[in-house]
Amino acid sequence: MKGITRTVWVLSLVSLFTDTASEMLYPIMPVYLKSIGFSIVLIGVLEGIAEATAGFSKGYFGKRSDLSGKRVPFVQMGYALSALSKPLIPLFIAPLWVFFARTMDRLGKGIRTGARDAILSDEATPETKGKIFGFHRAMDTTGAVLGPLLALLYLHFYPANYKTLFFIAFIPGLLALFTSFLLKDKKSSIKKVQKNTSFFSFLSYWKTSPPAYRKLAGALLFFTLFNSSDVFLLLKAKEAGLSDTNVIGVYIFYNLVYALFAFPLGVLADKLGLKKIFIAGLAMFMIAYLGIAFCNTKLLFYFFFLIYGVYAAATEGVSKAWITNISDKKDTATAVGTYASLQSICTMMASSMAGLIWFHFNPTAAFLIPAIASGFVIVYMLSLKTKPASELKPDKKG
């Protein structure tokens, strides 16, 4: 495909293999942890610590990548840790060991995210960012379709044999790692700065970043404060009477829609403007959440998860393309990493708030409030002044 370079293909295949491995385990992880004695509270603590590790490390390692002028070593190390964590989890059932292995997986994600997205940004022009990031998201999410399908197929023949599935997931993880060795760093005009930085030093980027970055990232983070984990969508489907198989089926269907629409919507964003497609995506989110709030039939759940898949396809890659377009080239990984770190924190807060609203009020309220909040973000985004790619100033060299 025109404009999709070898490097973009390699990175996209690496993401596909990694997501296949991760999503094979996603549906069965809570069940497996409960089977080895983890309580619901302990599972929550485990996932909270793991996600916090991933969140904060995205900013730190993004900045380290910019300071070193290197991208590929961070990408390879990140995917290596995620791959190796898969077979480590079932080796021992001691909580500390499981915490170590699970945190290793999320740390790997934190190490690679900023550097990977900086590579993708460097492979594109301002006019093709939507296409490049959309293609990558499409390939990545294809793994989120293949993973659960493979897990369902395996569990059909070997019910409750969860441990073996962790070792099977190691195979696509290894494929991802080996594929990452096809990547090479380009000669960069960015000066290398060798200096020590604290773990939270990336937070200072917020003050020094371009005003356009703060305006956009601020709006995205406000939205994230109300956009809880997709687990709540699946819980709502389960509560409405869908079987476990149907719940997993809805999740696979959502990822399939996401994968199919991410690339064409990215291309469309380049033609019509990143802002327009992103706002359209937020409108899809509002419709999906309003619908799911009152949904009680299987057919309607599939319809609203279709809408939700279009929302994800119209916003995930587009937001990264938008952020990299308004960031200085020498700070690309820091800009992406800082936003990703703050986004992780906001997601944890959103999920906690959704859980409290669900418990103290009702599930309907847990979906209505985010839908209303997305409306405010749409109004703000409409007033946000953005320049088309052709008017962007060239990146500063530094």
The pLDDT of residue 389 is 35
Spell out the residues 6+ positions from residue 377 whose beta carbon is closer than 8 angstroms to its own.
219, 222, 223, 282
Instruction: Tell me the backbone φ, ψ of residue 194, rounded to 5 degrees.
Output: -95, 100
Tens-place pLDDT, residues 138-176: 999 999 999 989 988 888 888 878 889 999 999 999 999
Q: Classify domain 6-179+207-387 at the CATH topology level.
A: Growth Hormone; Chain: A; (1.20.1250)
- Token representation of residue 105: 């997986």
What mean pLDDT, rounded, does the chain reach?
86
Q: Look up the pTM and report it.
A: 0.85
Handedness of CA 56, 62, 64, 70 (dihedral sign): positive
CA–CA dist 118, 205 (Å, integer): 16
Q: Which of 333, 322, 335, 330 is CA-nearest to residue 209?
A: 335
Q: What is the mean pLDDT of residues 310-317?
A: 94
List helix spans (H) across the chain: 6-25, 29-35, 40-68, 72-88, 95-122, 129-157, 162-180, 205-208, 211-224, 231-239, 244-272, 274-294, 298-325, 332-360, 363-383
Query: Quick check: 18 pLDDT over 50?
Result: yes
Query: Quick check: 188 pLDDT over 80?
Result: no
N- to C-terminal Cα distance for the chain? Answer: 33
Tens-place pLDDT, residues 339-385: 888 888 888 888 888 888 888 888 889 899 999 999 999 999 998 87
Share of the chain above pLDDT 70, in %: 92
Q: Count CA atoms within 13 Å of residue 1 on its CB side.
A: 12
Q: What is the mean pLDDT of residues 44-51?
A: 74
Tens-place pLDDT, residues 244-286: 778 888 888 999 999 999 999 999 999 999 999 999 999 999 9
Tell me whether residue 7 is exposed, middle or buried, using C-beta atoms within 10 angstroms of its C-beta: 0 to 12, 13 to 18, 19 or more: middle
- Residue 388: pLDDT band (50, 70, 90) is very low
Q: What is the mean pLDDT of residues 193-213?
A: 75
Tell me whether residue 26 is exposed, middle or buried, using C-beta atoms within 10 angstroms of its C-beta: 0 to 12, 13 to 18, 19 or more: middle
CA–CA dist 253, 237 (Å, integer): 13
Residue 334 near residue 202, CB atoms below 8 Å: yes
Residue 344 near residue 51, CB atoms below 8 Å: yes
| Residue 107, number of CB atoms within 10 A of its CB | 21
Only one residue has tokens 């379709």, namely: 145
CA–CA dist 11, 182 (Å, integer): 9
The pLDDT of residue 387 is 55
Q: In this predicted model, which residue has the larger pLDDT, 49 or 375?
A: 375
